[in-house]
Amino acid sequence: MRKAVYPGSFDPVTSGHLDVIERAARLFDRVIVAVIRNPEKSPLFSFQERMDMLKASVPHCDNVAVDSFDGLLVEYVRGQKACAVVRGLRAVSDFDYEFQMALTNRRMAPEIETVFLMTDYRYSYLSSSFVRQIAGLGGDVSGLVPDPVARVLAAKKQRKG
């Protein structure tokens, strides 16, 4: 059983994240999408909202589970008995941070491999922060996020307006 953990803030989950999840699910027997409970950057969506939006976005992926963690990623990955961490790469701008994180994690846990999946060209420009900005300014985010997330954002907009 080859298990992988895909960690992130998912604030909110985007179509780019979902594409990485679906592709990782074809590579591994089981993929755990792990929401960082208290990310360094303070999230727009609460922990519960981020979890709920993810869960609503992956019902079609049989071997994908949504979970959460706090503290050291490598400890969580070990606890799950997973062999790999999955991360997505969009542009060169992602590389520095991802490179540092992968090597730091390898130093702490040499048995865990970090696997990078290159973004699909359709989502190469897409980030949660852009989705937050567009939604915050009343723009249409359909297509940029899974449908359940678009519905949550539309409901939020209605409540505000």
Q: Looking at 90, 106, 132, 156, which residue is catalytic? A: 90
- What's the closest the beta carbon of residue 86 comes to ligand ADP, in angstroms? 8
Residue 10: exposed, middle, or buried by beta-carbon count in 10 A (0-12, 13-18, 19+)?
buried
Site string for ligand ADP, 138-157 (x = CB under 6 A): --------------------
Q: Looking at 15, 17, 57, 87, which residue is catalytic? A: 17
**Whole-angstrom distance, CA of residue 155 vs CA of residue 149:** 10
Find the part of the chain contacting ligand ADP (CB under 6 A) among 8-16, 65-73, 102-110, 148-156: 8-16
Element (H, E) at 154: helix 147-160
Q: 């852009």: which residue's tokens?
A: 130
Residue 120: how many other CB atoms lie within 10 Å? 16
Residues of this chain that bind ligand ADP (CB under 6 A): 8-10, 14, 16-17, 20, 39, 87-88, 90, 94, 119, 123, 126-128
